[in-house]
Amino acid sequence: MQYIPGLAGVPATESEISFIDGQKGLLTYRGYNIMELAERSSFEETTLLLLFGSLPTQAEFDEFDNALKDSRRVKFNIRNIMENLPSTTHPMHMLQVVVASLASFYPSTEYMKGGTENQQYVNDVTVKIISHMATLVAMWEHMRNGYKPIDPRQDLSYAENFLYMVTGKEPDKDWARLLDACLILHAEHTINASTFTTMVTGSTLANPCSVIASAIASLSGPLHGGANQKVIEMLEEIESPENARAYIEDRLKNNKVIWGMGHREYKTKDPRATILQKLSDNLLEKKTGRLSKTFKTAMEVEKVCEELLGHKGVYPNVDFYSGILYKEMGFDAGLFTPIFAVARSAGWMAHWREQLQNNKIFRPTQVYTGVGNSCYIPIEKRS
Ligand SMILES: CC(C)(COP(=O)(O)OP(=O)(O)OC[C@H]1O[C@@H](n2cnc3c(N)ncnc32)[C@H](O)[C@@H]1OP(=O)(O)O)[C@@H](O)C(=O)NCCC(=O)NCCS
C-alpha cells in the first residue's frame, strides 16, 4: 500500500458537478465555463444549476427564488442562541455553531429512504440552509457590534439582500452585481477539503445541518477559506507596493507561506482570481476613480511571487483578490471567509445530494507505523 500525503491526486469520488483543468486554468460547473456564469448568471440560477444539473426554466427559477426568499427570516429561538454567544466570537465560529443548531429545528429521520416526503425534506433543507447562511452572517455582523440585526427583505436578490442586511443601506447595483459574481465564483470547486468533509460527514447519514456545520469548520482554516482574511492582513502589514519585495523575500527565507498563493489543483493562475481581478479593476476605477493602495500592493506582490514562486507552479488563487474586493465593498475582514461559506453552501448541498444518490460510508485505510506486540506492565512497575 502506498500512502499519499493529503490524498493528492487520489480520486475520492465520481462527480458530475464541476471540473478543473489545473494546467489550462479552467473551471466549469456542469459543463459551463465559470467566466460565462460570472458574467451572465446569478447566484440563485447558478445554485439551481449546481443542484439539479441544468439551467432552470423561468418557472423553475421563480419557484426556487421565492422559496429562498421565504426562508430568509430565522426563528426567534435561533436568534436567542446567537445572543448568548460572546461578542468576540468569530463569524465563522458563530456560523458553525448556529448551523449545527439548525438540526434541532429541522430534524432528519429517514430522508435516505426515498419517496416524495423524503425528497421534499431534502429539497426544503437545501433551501433553508442556503438561505439562512446569508441571514446568519449578516445578523451576526450587527449583533457582535452591539446592534439589533436588520430584517431581511423579500424584494431583493440574494446578493442585494445580503448587502442590505450588512450595511443597512439601499444596495448599490454595481456592488451587488460584483458580489453576485463573487458568490458564483465561490459556489463550487470539486473535491476540496470542505467539500470532502461534507461528503465524509454526509456519508454517515448525519443530519444535513451537522454536515454543513462540519464543512464550515473545514473551510475556516487559513490553508483553505480562511486565507482571504489572512491576505488582507498581510497586505496591510506590507503597507505599500515598495515594501512588497522585501516582505515576500523575508517570508520565503523563513519558510512561511504567502497567503492567497498556490493551489493543489492549479499550476497556473486560478481562473477565479483572473476573473475577480478583471471585475475589480473595472469597478474600482469606476467607483473610486483610482485603484486603492491595497490593490496596487496586491499587484506588486503578485509580480514578485510570479518571479520567485512561478517555477513551482505557485500563482494567485481565488482568495488573493476576493478580500480586496470585499474590503472595498465595506465589509469587515472577519466577514470574508463567512461570505465564502455562504456561497459554497450551494456546492456543499449539491455534493451532499449527489453523495446520497449512491451512498457508501467513507472509511479509508491507513499504513500503520507504530510498534507491535507491546506487553502491558502494571503502573507500579513502570519506570
Ligand atoms: C493551497 C496550499 C495549501 C496547497 O498546498 P499543496 O498542494 O500541498 O502544495 P505544496 O505545499 O506541496 O506546494 C508545492 C511547493 O510550492 C510551495 N508553495 C505552495 N504554496 C505556497 C505559498 N503560498 N507560499 C510559498 N510557497 C508555496 C511549497 O512550499 C512547495 O515548495 P517545495 O516544493 O520547495 O517544498 C498551499 O499552496 C498554501 O498553503 N497556500 C497558502 C494558503 C492559501 O492561500 N490557501 C487558499 C487555497 S484556495
DSSP string, 48-90: HHHHHSSPPPHHHHHHHHHHHHHT-S--HHHHHHHHTS-TT--
Contact 82, 142 (CB under 8 A): no
Torsion angle of the four alpha carbons 81, 82, 84, 86, in this order, in degrees rounded to the nearest 10: 150
Sheet containing strand 26-29, edge to edge, reads 18-21, 26-29, 32-33
Distance 175 CA to ligand 1 centre (A): 31
pTM for the model stands at 0.93
Is 319 tagged catalytic? yes
Residue 341's alpha-carbon distances to 12, 182, 263, 308, in angstroms, are 22, 12, 18, 31
Tell me, what's the pLDDT at 35? 94
Tell me, what's the pLDDT at 281? 76
CA 56 to chain centre: 23
Distance 315 CA to ligand 1 centre (A): 10
Question: What string of pLDDT tens digits covers the 383 residues of the chain?
Answer: 899 999 999 999 999 999 999 999 999 999 999 999 999 999 999 999 999 999 999 999 999 999 999 999 999 999 999 999 999 999 999 999 999 999 999 887 666 666 677 888 899 999 999 999 999 999 999 999 999 999 999 999 999 999 999 999 999 998 999 999 999 999 999 999 999 999 999 999 999 999 999 999 999 999 999 898 899 999 999 999 999 999 999 999 999 999 999 999 998 989 999 998 888 777 777 776 667 788 889 999 999 999 999 999 999 998 898 888 888 888 999 999 999 999 999 999 999 999 998 899 999 999 999 999 999 999 999 98
Tell me, what's the pLDDT at 82? 98
Tell me, what's the pLDDT at 113? 67
**Would you say the CATH fold of 227-328 matches that of 16-221+337-357?**
no
Tell me, what's the pLDDT at 293? 86
* Domain ranges within the chain, ordered by starting residue: 16-221+337-357, 227-328
Residue 29: phi and psi, rounded to 5, are -110, 120
**What is the number of the ligand 1 atom nearest to the C-alpha of 313?**
16
CB neighbour list of residue 166: distance below 8 Å, 6 or more residues apart: 137, 138, 141, 331, 335
Contact 288, 347 (CB under 8 A): no
Distance 187 CA to ligand 1 centre (A): 22
**What is the number of the ligand 1 atom nearest to the C-alpha of 257?**
24
Residue whose CA lies nearest to ligand 1 atom number 10: 264
Q: Which amino acid is at 143?
A: M
The CATH number corresponding to 16-221+337-357 among 1.10.580.10, 2.60.40.420, 1.10.4160.10, 3.30.1240.10 equals 1.10.580.10
Q: Could you tell me the three cell numbers for 66?
A: 421565492
Among residues 263, 281, 311, 351, which one is catalytic? Answer: 263
Distance 263 CA to ligand 1 centre (A): 6
For residues 216 and 344, give the distance between their C-alpha atoms in angstroms, rounded to a whole number: 9
Beta bridge partners of 21: 26
The CATH number corresponding to 227-328 among 3.40.830.10, 1.10.230.10, 1.10.260.40, 3.30.70.260 equals 1.10.230.10
Residue 261: phi and psi, rounded to 5, are -115, 140
Distance 261 CA to ligand 1 centre (A): 7
**What is the number of the ligand 1 atom nearest to the C-alpha of 261?**
23
Is 224 tagged catalytic? no
Mutate to test the pocket of ligand 1, among 314, 318, 319, 321 (most ligand atoms within 8 A of CB): 314
Contact 143, 247 (CB under 8 A): no
Among residues 65, 180, 270, 319, which one is catalytic? Answer: 319
For residues 263 and 84, give the distance between their C-alpha atoms in angstroms, rounded to a whole number: 38
Which residues form the pocket of ligand 1, taking CB atoms under 6 Å from any ligand atom? Answer: 6, 223-224, 227, 257-264, 309, 312, 314, 317-319
Residue whose CA lies nearest to ligand 1 atom number 27: 257
Q: Where do the DSSP E strands lie in 143-260? A: none
For residues 345 and 243, give the distance between their C-alpha atoms in angstroms, rounded to a whole number: 37
Tell me, what's the pLDDT at 203? 94
Distance 375 CA to ligand 1 centre (A): 42
